């Protein structure tokens, strides 16, 4: 089976930065303007609130994932609290990162349900209470590993019912998605993609739309333009970008870019530069 996440993370990386290790007591409000967050709870009971409303009750060691910026409140015992390890998650491309965009706004999983994570979590929690050389760098990398294990878990258990992760869980659609991600410059047609998926053209189109939520052509354009945006951020020329993402000319890329984003590549880059 091809690696379903390889091309995604080759183009769109994610980095973690640990900001808390230790007990949180009483009421704690957490928010961040431009990053997601990943929380690991190793001990204690936690009530979680979103916008003042109860969202979850934690009664066993658990993982809480906010892939996009989202204010949240943790309420714990004011005396004993609960033991947390927390990290900011910065997705390359921000909210347009395909994985960040595909995830639910909030994921809550018992740590015991994450296959293959036990040993990593033991190392992570041990480092969290240590004062050894390289602790911060190691914790950051371990959080990134845990995130990938969570994505595996969501796909293998099919906990996400629609969108990209659901497509990557589908025994046939995933082959077409991996092909698009790995070769955006290829002259993909519905017939070629259906053949890669091992489906008839009609069944492929209908199944793709049912699971992913958009047509194969729309997804292909969305992926290509996401890559183009990333390349624009890195200062690449429009001609090189067009060749790399499968458009025959700068004009063809510009038309698709405006259709997808509502602005021309030049306008989009100027807007991005002004925000940076």
162-173 burial: b if 16+ Cβ within 10 Å, else e: ebbbbbbbbebb
CATH value of 6-156 in 1.10.760.10, 3.40.50.10470, 2.60.120.10, 3.40.190.10: 2.60.120.10
DSSP state of 94: G
Tell me what the mean pLDDT of segment 74-94 comes to. 92
Give the tokens for residue 238.
């429009």
pLDDT above 90: residue 92: no
Tell me what the mean pLDDT of segment 99-127 comes to. 93
Quote the pLDDT of residue 63.
97
Rg of the chain on CA atoms, in Å: 21
Tell me what the mean pLDDT of segment 180-187 comes to. 95
pLDDT above 70: residue 105: yes
The overall average pLDDT reported for the chain is 93
DSSP bridge partners of 73: 29, 49
Quote the pLDDT of residue 94.
74
Tell me the pTM: 0.89
Give the tokens for residue 14.
């994610």
Which uninterrupted H or E stretch holds 207? helix 201-212
Q: Do domains 6-156 and 170-275 have the same CATH topology?
A: no
Share of the chain above pLDDT 90, in %: 80
At 182, give phi and psi (nearest 5°): -80, -25
Level-2 CATH architecture, domain 170-275: Orthogonal Bundle (1.10)
Tell me what the mean pLDDT of segment 223-235 comes to. 92
Tell me what the mean pLDDT of segment 89-101 comes to. 84
Which uninterrupted H or E stretch holds 28? strand 27-30
Where along the chain do its domains lie?
A: 6-156, 170-275
DSSP bridge partners of 29: 73
Give the tokens for residue 70.
């989202």
Quote the pLDDT of residue 1.
60
pLDDT above 80: residue 275: no
pLDDT above 90: residue 244: yes
Neighbours of 177 (CB within 10 A): 26
Tell me what the mean pLDDT of segment 91-116 comes to. 88
């Amino acid at each position: 089976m091809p690696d379903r996440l390889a091309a995604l993370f080759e183009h769109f990386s994610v980095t973690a930065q640990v900001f808390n290790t230790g007990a949180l007591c009483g009421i704690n409000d957490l928010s961040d303007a431009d990053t997601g967050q990943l929380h690991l709870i190793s001990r204690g009971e936690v009530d979680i609130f979103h916008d003042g409303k109860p969202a979850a009750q934690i009664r066993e060691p658990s993982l809480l994932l906010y892939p996009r910026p989202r204010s949240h409140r943790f309420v714990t015992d004011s005396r004993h609290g609960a033991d947390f390890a927390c990290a900011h998650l910065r997705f390359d491309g921000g909210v347009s990162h395909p994985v960040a965009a595909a995830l639910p706004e909030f994921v809550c999983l018992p740590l015991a349900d994450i296959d293959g994570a036990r040993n990593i979590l033991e190392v992570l929690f041990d480092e969290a209470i240590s004062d050894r050389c390289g602790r911060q760098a190691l914790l950051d990398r371990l959080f990134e590993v845990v995130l990938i294990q969570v994505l595996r878990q969501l796909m293998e258990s099919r906990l996400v019912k629609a969108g990209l992760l659901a497509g990557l869980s589908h025994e046939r659609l995933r082959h077409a998605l991996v092909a698009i991600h790995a070769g955006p410059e290829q002259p993909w047609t519905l017939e070629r993609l259906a053949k890669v998926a091992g489906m008839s053209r009609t069944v492929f189109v209908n199944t793709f739309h049912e699971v992913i939520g958009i047509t194969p052509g729309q997804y292909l354009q969305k992926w290509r333009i996401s890559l183009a945006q990333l390349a624009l951020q890195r200062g690449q020329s429009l001609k090189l970008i067009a060749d790399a993402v499968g458009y025959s000319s700068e004009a063809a890329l510009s038309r698709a870019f405006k259709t997808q984003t509502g602005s021309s590549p030049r306008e989009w880059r100027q807007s991005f530069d002004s925000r940076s």
